[in-house]
Chains A and B, each alone.
Chain A
């Protein structure tokens, strides 16, 4: 039922078939479509301005890895913002858990557990648990002690950054465990050609199956279904996009110098990077949680009308607390990816990440008024933000100008969204 809230509802007053009514009958989220259009414009624009550099497999592959950590956190931020809260602490939680994991795998774990093939599992598990615990503490204070989330997480922003500093007295902890580093991607930390195609094929089967299953289910309950042409083209487009993405990842070859070091032949495809696989996995799980599970429906119900949700018998406090547990756990997951990628635990790792995460969620259509937002939108929002940033570095735009552009885009995106929504209702 959550998708009902994300699709504009004015089907009535439309006399002739326009693009708008076609989209409506195909049940495509117009906001998501707008975002994709914006992304295409940005990509093509950068590609022209960079003389064809932007749309190379290498740059797109880089972009996918660079977007992964913010994308992962943005999926959690959607649930937080949808339920009318905010989490300003994600950047600091990321820094703290990242530093914790770095210290674990270099100093804190007993000698016998260091440098083992399974060390990364222990480190990651503890890191995620620490993240969950932080989320539980903050969530408890917010949900049960009724302290506004803005204040609690603002405190968290200061507290966890401070703890992160104390953990290592401000030092950089490097190098990290060699297996753990694979979480961060790079050609070594990628799936390779065959596994990437296999994942792509699996995804296609999943898409086709879920579309058919949902059509059957709707028919059984007598709900309206999409016209056949819409269903068909949606299926084809999804499959083409998935396979296209795999193809791009597989057309990026191992850099010559690195291939030589690892004894790989020339033109060995890199494939999908581990962090990207993790991000896609998170996005799928979070989408299911948000739209197909009771918990997700509760979150949207609370955001839509907290009083009604409470009177309707929803345990709002437990639900809210859980959203914060999820958020901080995802921040810990991002911390693992970012520090593995950098091959170091550093005190500034997550500085200002909260701003990018919130911006990604909001650009992706999540509304501060509560009750509205989608996971795929937030992930796309993260890709838009990262595209702007990476593209501008490619064009050698200096960082202050980058900040200005990203800031303008953020306000413009939300402004347009608000204007469209006003017209639609």
Chain B
């Protein structure tokens, strides 16, 4: 019952978003799924969300998946595990009994889900691990390049501040992403820790932040500023929420806009900070690209295409040493020079992006 109600509500949302985006998506690269043609028609694709109450899934991912499936006449069914690995296992059985021929799984727990995935593959039902890794060689892995996000953050900041004192505000220690991002920074040339810093970049403060909390990041930044007598030139914050806390701390010292700050997620408040000049870079992951790729891949899997024959896949070795096929989508680093990207994509309104921006110092996108 709850699923029906949810789908009804979503159709409304999807319709609005789709009409809003149709003009912009037309300009991106042509649909690859169209190639596999009508043979996917009527194929049921089951999507198992792990926690549908997070804004992103309903607003961006699901409409994109639906659109990609609708383009080839495939059918979309879904359910929500409400952040429970146990519920997700039941949900996947349900999707299969409803006749799903392909599964797209946003795993609550990439290890606990393995039993369900094995059971699906034994019934010749291909599985797509969506956004989060599933440690099973049979699952096609579709995700953003998380390490790449860290690399892009570091590159943009290093471009703005080639040498000087860096503070690194990392996310939750228990979240593997926090370390992926940090590893990406190392790839870009940021020292792995304060001790190994030999070149132009000196790390004067680095910490994890419980639950990625913005208010905690603010306190941390205040302490790092105190410890260094304000001699901080750049801050690598791993996401936008914490970047907001960092900027609040900088503002209290009159340093906002003078110290380079990074973030990711494309939060409206953070993009506004980019336009205002308070934040240097916001690495934006367009969830619609991810949804579209998953929908198109599912459509190909419907016609019996093997994982490694799906268009756009490349081999990928997981941290658990499994060789899987993967589609890894590059995020977009957004700086004040290319803010029009998020505007053109319909991700944010100009009014929100440019709120409070001084006309004389406005970036091009706000003129």
A residues near B (Cβ < 8 Å) are: 50, 53, 56, 58-59, 62, 66, 165, 169-175, 185-187, 255-261, 338, 341-344, 346, 348-349, 351-352, 389-390, 393-394, 396, 398-400, 403
B8 at the A interface (CB under 8 A): no
B8-48 vs A: 1/0 string, CB under 8 Å?
00000000000000000000000000000000000000000
Contact B215 A349 (CB under 8 A): yes
Contact A394 B226 (CB under 8 A): yes
In the complex, which of the residues A174, A185, A259, A394 contacts B244, with contact meaning CB atoms closer than 8 Å? A174
Question: CB-nearest residue of chain A relative to B53?
Answer: A165
Using known A-B contacts A341-B218, A342-B244, A399-B173, determine if residue A258 contacts B253 with beta carbons closer than 8 Å.
Answer: yes
14 contacts between A and B (CB under 8 A): A50-B227, A62-B223, A174-B272, A186-B251, A255-B253, A257-B253, A343-B251, A344-B214, A346-B214, A348-B215, A349-B214, A349-B215, A396-B205, A400-B173
Scan residues 208-262 of chain B and give those whose CB is less than 8 A from a CB of chain A: 208-215, 218-220, 222-224, 226-227, 230, 240-241, 244-245, 248, 251-255, 258
Question: CB-nearest residue of chain B relative to A56?
Answer: B226
B336 to chain A, nearest CB (A): 17
Using known A-B contacts A170-B54, A255-B253, A400-B208, determine if residue A348 contacts B241 with beta carbons closer than 8 Å.
Answer: yes
B residues less than 8 Å from A341 (CB atoms): 215, 218, 248
Scan residues 178-207 of chain B and give those whose CB is less than 8 A from a CB of chain A: 194, 205-207
In the complex, which of the residues A338, A348, A394 contacts B223, with contact meaning CB atoms closer than 8 Å? A394
CA–CA, A349 to B212, complex, Å? 11
B residues near A (Cβ < 8 Å) are: 53-55, 59, 173, 194, 205-215, 218-220, 222-224, 226-227, 230, 240-241, 244-245, 248, 251-255, 258, 267-270, 272, 355-356
A283 to chain B, nearest CB (A): 21
In the complex, which of the residues B194, B208, B224 contacts A399, with contact meaning CB atoms closer than 8 Å? B208
CA–CA, A172 to B53, complex, Å? 16
CA–CA, A185 to B219, complex, Å? 13
7 tightest Cβ-Cβ pairs between the two chains A and B: A258-B254, A257-B254, A393-B223, A174-B269, A186-B252, A170-B55, A255-B253
B residues less than 8 Å from A399 (CB atoms): 173, 207-210
B186 to chain A, nearest CB (A): 17
B residues less than 8 Å from A260 (CB atoms): 254
13 further contact pairs, Cβ within 8 A, besides A260-B254, A351-B213: A56-B226, A62-B223, A172-B214, A172-B241, A172-B270, A186-B252, A255-B230, A255-B254, A257-B258, A344-B214, A344-B269, A348-B212, A396-B205
Question: CB-nearest residue of chain A relative to B230?
Answer: A255
B146 to chain A, nearest CB (A): 20
A residues less than 8 Å from B55 (CB atoms): 169-171
B300 to chain A, nearest CB (A): 33
A257 to chain B, nearest CB (A): 3
In the complex, which of the residues A259, A346, A351, A400 contacts B254, with contact meaning CB atoms closer than 8 Å? A259
Contact A261 B207 (CB under 8 A): no
Contact A348 B207 (CB under 8 A): no
B residues less than 8 Å from A169 (CB atoms): 55, 59
CA–CA, A195 to B96, complex, Å? 70
Contact A62 B222 (CB under 8 A): yes
Contact B223 A171 (CB under 8 A): no
In the complex, which of the residues A59, A174, A349, A398 contacts B226, with contact meaning CB atoms closer than 8 Å? A59
Contact A338 B54 (CB under 8 A): no
Question: CB-nearest residue of chain A relative to B217?
Answer: A342
Contact A396 B222 (CB under 8 A): no
A residues less than 8 Å from B240 (CB atoms): 172
B105 to chain A, nearest CB (A): 22
A134 to chain B, nearest CB (A): 21
Contact B244 A344 (CB under 8 A): yes
A98 to chain B, nearest CB (A): 10
B residues less than 8 Å from A348 (CB atoms): 211-215, 241
A residues less than 8 Å from B224 (CB atoms): 393
B212 to chain A, nearest CB (A): 7
CA–CA, A351 to B54, complex, Å? 16
Contact B248 A344 (CB under 8 A): yes
Question: CB-nearest residue of chain A relative to B206?
Answer: A396
Contact B267 A172 (CB under 8 A): yes
Question: CB-nearest residue of chain A relative to B212?
Answer: A348
Question: CB-nearest residue of chain A relative to B254?
Answer: A258
B residues less than 8 Å from A66 (CB atoms): 219, 222
A142 to chain B, nearest CB (A): 28
Question: CB-nearest residue of chain A relative to B245?
Answer: A342
Using known A-B contacts A186-B251, A257-B258, determine if residue A403 contacts B244 with beta carbons closer than 8 Å.
Answer: no
